[in-house]
Structure 1
Amino acid sequence: MSFTVFYLIIGFCILWECNLLFINRGKVKLPGEVPYKNIMMPIICVLFSALFLWRWGVGTEQFIVVGGFLVATVLYLPIKSGLTDEGIFVNGSFMPYLKMKYYAFDRVGEDKVRLRAVSIRKEVSLYFPKEQEGLVGAYFAKSHVPSFEAFREQSKQGPEN
């Protein structure tokens, strides 16, 4: 892959992150926390930068690529994730309530719960404060998304005719 193509890919990633940062920011009504987001991305960024500089050497073009990756990483960190009126935003990816099969809560420590929302193609996780568990459940109840227990009961009864 030539450097020109790589610059275009990094530039596209930066524009995509700006889009996610500014367009979807106001849509999130109940913000949640993405597991390991603030820990893993800086570690991956440092490892990628070191590997890139080790493999291709130190030069102006390499610093531009590493700088672009650092900018994309810094823009990624403040992207809001959480519940909206239409679905869930997680890292800029949207999952509408209409496509969800069920949701479930898991306890994480003393003061947090983990929301697992499952659709046919993917599963997303968000952390919420324990006090907001009822509010999060109300978003799903309003949108007619069953809890895991209700989904399991529906599955046992079989399809309705």
Structure 2
Amino acid sequence: MNQMSNYILIVLFLGLAIWQGVGYFRTKGKITIYDKLWSGTRILFVAAAILGAATLLVYTGPIEFIRILSMLLCVVSYLLCRDGIGDEGVCVNGSFYPYGTVRAYDFQQEKKSFFAVFTVNEPGSSKNGNYNININFDLKDEEAVKALLKKRIGKKYTRMKVKR
């Protein structure tokens, strides 16, 4: 890998790490019921981090070390940024959506997971657009999620065709 591509990757990974870190601090303390910890996406990020760290066996220069370190920082910041619901609203990918912006919500249970779907006003849009959010929860949190949402936004429950 040449120097220019290393510099580009370092800037890219550090930018993503900062973006996820800001999202983490923006939603920190607002989540009371977290999403499922290990999803397919999280497992793929960990696998990419392991494979990226393994490239140190081939490339041993200082710039490669900085590239790997920035990539690992990006992965760690992604893993820290969790989705979930709280007393004030819904948190997804470092963004917070107050319950006032939720137009409708629904639930669906699968074999080992339970997920909630929220339709919120599209962020930053002057139109009345919809933005759908899916959050996977552990099956053991099903009753707590239903109770919290019924308490906070019970009137907005709408039976939707939930697609995953």
- 1:121 aligned residue: 131
Q: How far is the alpha carbon of 1:31 from its aligned partner?
A: 1.9
SS in 1 for 2:131: coil
Is the counterpart of residue 33 in structure 1 residue 36 in structure 2? yes
Contact 1:7 1:65 in 2 (8 A): yes
What TM-score do the two structures reach when normalised by structure 2?
Answer: 0.67
SS in 2 for 1:27: coil
Q: Provide Cα deviations, 1:52-89, integer angstroms capped at 9, x if missing partner.
A: x6xxx833323311221112102321333211222211
SS in 1 for 2:80: coil
Question: Which stretch shifts more, 78-87 or 38-47?
Answer: 38-47
Contact 2:117 2:132 in 1 (8 A): no
Task: Give the AA of the match of 2:157.
Answer: S
Q: How far is the alpha carbon of 1:9 from its aligned partner?
A: 3.1
What TM-score do the two structures reach when normalised by structure 1?
Answer: 0.67
Task: Give the AA of the match of 1:42.
Answer: V
Q: How far is the alpha carbon of 1:37 from its aligned partner?
A: 4.1
- 1:159 aligned residue: none
- Which entry has the higher C-alpha Rg, 1 or 2? 1
Residues 1:2 and 1:21: Cα distance change in structure 2 (over 3 Å): same
Residues 1:60 and 1:103: Cα distance change in structure 2 (over 3 Å): same
Q: Provide Cα deviations, 1:29-62, integer angstroms capped at 9, x if missing partner.
A: 2222263243121123345x38xx6xxx833323
Task: Give the AA of the match of 2:19.
Answer: W
Residues 1:94 and 1:22: Cα distance change in structure 2 (over 3 Å): closer
Identity of matched residues, %? 23
* Structure 2 segments unaligned to the other structure (5+ residues): 121-129
- 2:100 aligned residue: 98
Is the counterpart of residue 138 in structure 1 residue 147 in structure 2? yes
Distance 1:21 1:96 in 2: 16
* Structure 1 segments unaligned to the other structure (5+ residues): 153-161
How many residue pairs end up in the alignment?
145
- Cα RMSD (Å): 3.2
Pairing of 1:67-82 with structure 2 (within 5 A): 67-82=69-84
Residues 1:17 and 1:79: Cα distance change in structure 2 (over 3 Å): same
